[in-house]
Amino acid sequence: MLGIIGGTSLLFADLPPLAKTTVATPFGKAEVHTGAFALLLRHQHNLPPHRINYRACLAALAILGVDTVVAFGSAGSLKPEIPPGSIVIPNDYLSVTDIPSVHECTIDHIRPELDADLVRTLGELVPEARMGGVYAQTRGPRIETVAEVKALARAADVVGMTVASEATLARELGMRFAAICTVDNYANGLGEETLTYEHILETSRANCRRTEKILTTIVERLA
């Protein structure tokens, strides 16, 4: 079963008609919209990134039988050659903050990864996307400092606040995972404009029809 995770990039999109259900998990409850596929909106109850119950969200998808997850993540560009409005399909990630785990009472070291086959499939379905690159996750909800952006740019291409946590948990729960990053802004200090959350929302709103089309294409192929 296909699972879609969405956040800021889906705020202004017209989503498919699905039934909302509340799934109880060992880590708490999560709301999931279900039908031919499962759709989970990560900012449930308007929670900011650092307060999202990632364990409940990913466990809910696993309980529903999801085995393949595609996450849409709003991201900031760390490189001048990746302008706002770009789409990036990363093939690796790093995190400079705590990553949640479902393993509380056992020692289990999983090998974190973005599924290579799923990454290639998304590249075929979204030919306008930039293939490959590294996604860096920070804690949020604040935007990264100029110094942090310079440091992250040495190892990564885009920065966000959610995808690395979701990718790791999906791997722990036996689900394939890949991400589509919509680049809504240059990271702090790279662009000429003063970066604000409102600016990020404006870019997301402007590209909402494109995001809808990408979502539809993925569902038609993978659901």
| Domains of the chain, CATH where assigned | 2-222 (3.40.50.1580)
Q: What are the b/e assignments for 68-82, b being 16+ CB within 10 Å?
A: bbbbbbbbbbbbeeb
- Tens digit of pLDDT for each residue in 15-63? 778 999 999 999 999 999 999 999 999 988 888 899 999 999 999 999 9
* 5 contacts 70 by C-beta, under 8 angstroms: yes
Token pair of 40 as six digits: 């989970």
In this prediction the pTM is 0.92
- Tens digit of pLDDT for each residue in 83-103? 999 999 999 999 988 889 888
Place of tokens 């402007």: 206
